[in-house]
Structure formats: structure tokens, C-alpha cells
Structure 1
């Protein structure tokens, strides 16, 4: 029996760098698991919409799909937007079993991908104690999502960074530049900004703008090997979940 199709669902952006980076992440995942069918869809902006890709898969004879959100926290898109799109598609495509996997974060693999980007930007692991870190995410009005970012910042602090402060490009304070200045005030000799975002776009550009006074700006997570492994892990967890019906999508 063929394994379910892995459908990676990204947010989408008008910025062409966004889709290019998502496709690069999927290429990395395919290299880790040859033979696994993987497709990409987008919630907004891109023509490869989730309904259109699911219709194409159903027409090609696919029987099962696991939709893995390329989202880092359980905010609106993971809790409401994507489930609604999947439920509607499932009603129109009754022969296609659709399951939604969990979001990517939090995970030690996500933390490892963040630190990989920091080392690539010029820091070394031994620089942690003299470096304050801004964990900069896109932002959300969802308290659960904000709490996850705060928890990640605390976990990173325990690994030896001088100090760690969360920041947000939208919706919630503080902004990146405010967090950078706060770390200077904390007495950290060096300040680095780690974007907790998968692909370039308007909000990541806003993070970069706010990082101008920082000493180090890491790149977006993109096709980091750890992120590709995390994508596959969420797919495997959804496949292994017990008690699911033909349409296991969170309400």
C-alpha cells in the first residue's frame, strides 16, 4: 500500500523568494526520504492553492494525504484557516482521506536550525555567553503562539546565551529594534538576531530592518537540514496517530 502523500502547506507570499525557499526545503526533505511523494501548497497568494493541489492529487488517484503545516506555532492559520480549507476539500473529495499534522514548533530540531543559522552568520558556540539573542518571529495575536515563543526564548537562555528576548515583526510588542536595545541595556557585549521564520517576505524584511543595530543577523531557517527532518517527523507522527478517522482535522 502506498504511503500517504506528504502535502507541505506554507503560508504564501507575494514575494517570490518565499515560494522558492519553500520548494528548496521540500527538495531537502525529498533527499532525506527518496521515494516519498511530496507536494507543496500555499494558503495565500500562490496559484498552488491547497484546494487546487488536493483536487489534482485526487484526480491522479491519491487515496491519502497528510497535510503538514509549515507553520512554527499554533496560531490562526493552524487552528482555523487550514482546518477549514481541508474540511471543505474533504467534503468535495470524499475518496481522499485527509489528515492534518502538527505544526513544526516547538522542537529541539527547530532550536538546532536556529543555531545553525547563527553559526553560519559568524558566531561560534563559545560566543553564547557574551552574546544577547533576539528571537524574532513574525508575530501573532494568539496567546498560545506568543507563549510558545516565550518558552523557546527561555529554553535558549538555558543553553548559555548572555540573555534572550523574544521580538515580533507584527501584532505584538516588542519589535526587533526595541529588543536589541534592551539587550544592550542588559550589558550583553554583543547582540545577535535570530529570525524564527521559514522563508523571506515582508515580515522577515521588517525583522532585518529592526536588526540594523545588532552585531549579527542570522538568515531565515529556509532549507536547514534540521527543518527538513522536523517536517518528516511531523508527517510520521500524523501517520502513527491512533484513533483517527478518514478526515482527522482539528476542530
Structure 2
């Protein structure tokens, strides 16, 4: 019988193959950093293995304890409803704890800063650059409020302005936020995608 908890990373899934490839690459890095920890990946939709399939396999392997980590940036519908539902349907022998979502976190904001530097912005550009914090979007008011809060806090690190934007389900759209920043007089505008992997949801 296996007593050590297994980490189950739960990703959304996408028809775009880059999504699963990015998730698998991330999990490989986690496994390399923690060779003592069994790490499995399951997808809610579009990709395999599915979360129910992984849970069945873990139970068959004699696993008792599972920590389910949603690979999500906000507590929206998937974290509040979809994931708890699929975990409740897991084999009864499994003891499952659902971890919190990844964001908001200063580590994520630091990663966004690194990506903007990699895109060519220098620290000297900050005061004249407006940033669009572009997320996937959600119909969940709590998730939308979190994105707005991140944008407000990030603005205080020296950017000309930071505006939230959404690809779907919410407003404003990214192009509208870009126009707003230009109208504010920001000399440059940068778009920082607040997503974990490429692909259509």
C-alpha cells in the first residue's frame, strides 16, 4: 500500500495541442525538482488523461492520499464547481484534499515582470509604459474582482498604468484596454497575458 500523498495537477485542457504540451512540460519540471514525490496530471476537458481516469488509476495502484492542485490562476467556476464535483465522484478509498488555486501571488506578478523584460522592456521604461493584464475572462464576479485587484496593486510598482482585460465573458477586451492606455498618454503599451498555457478554452 502506498502511503505518501500523490500530487494530482488538474489542468483545464484545450483543443490546442500547445496547452497540454505546456502543462506536461511544467509537470516534468516539478518531477525533476521533487523526485521523491509522485506527480500526476489530469485534464478536465479536451485532453487525456482525464481527471476521473487518473483517480481510478491511482486507486488501482493502492494510493490512499491525493492532493489535487488546480492549475488555475483564480477561484472561478472550475475551482468552485467542476473540480470539487469530479473529486467527489472519485473512488471512495481515496482521501483527496483540494489545494487552492495558484493566484493571486507575488510570484506570478514577478513572472509577468520577467516576461515583459524578455519582451524588450527595461526598468527605465516602466514609468512611461501602460500594461494590459490580459486574462482569459470569467462570468464569476469573484474571479473578475481578483484580476482587477492584481492590476491595481501592480500599478503601484511604477508602471504608467495597469488595466485588466479579458478574452471572453467579461469586459473590457484587450484592444479596449490598449486604447484606454494610449488615451491616458502612456508612451508605450505592453500586453501581459495572465494565462498559464496557450490555447483556446
TM-score w.r.t. the length of structure 1 is: 0.77
User: How far 1:47 moved relative to its partner?
Assistant: 2.3
Q: Which runs of 5 or more structure 1 residues have no equivalent in the other structure? A: 204-251
1:65-144 correspondence runs (5 A): 65-89=66-90, 93-144=91-142
| Cα shift readout 1:226-251 (whole Å, capped 9, x = no counterpart) | xxxxxxxxxxxxxxxxxxxxxxxxxx
Cα deviation, residue 202, structure 1: 2.2
Distance in 2 separating the partners of 1:117 and 1:34: 28
Corresponding residue number in structure 1 for 2:166: 168
1:45 aligned residue? 46
Cα distance in 2 for partners of 1:24, 1:118 equals 22
Task: Note the C-alpha offset of 1:115.
Answer: 1.2
Unaligned 5+ segments in structure 2 are none
Residues 4-49 of structure 1, C-alpha deviations (whole Å, 9 max, x = no match): 1110000000110000000111122222222211010000111211
The answer for the alignment partner of 2:62 in structure 1 is 61
Q: TM-score, normalised by structure 2?
A: 0.96
Deviating 4+ runs (over 3 angstroms): none
CA RMSD of aligned residues (A): 1.1
How far residue 136 of structure 1 moved from its aligned partner, in angstroms, is: 0.2
User: Is 2:37 aligned against 1:36?
Assistant: yes
Question: Which stretch has the larger CA shift, 151-160 or 121-130?
Answer: 121-130
Aligned length: 200
Tell me how far apart the structure 2 counterparts of residues 121 and 180 of structure 1 sit (CA, whole Å).
Answer: 17
Deviation sequence 1:104-144 (CA, Å, 0-9, x none):
11111111111111111111223211110000000001110
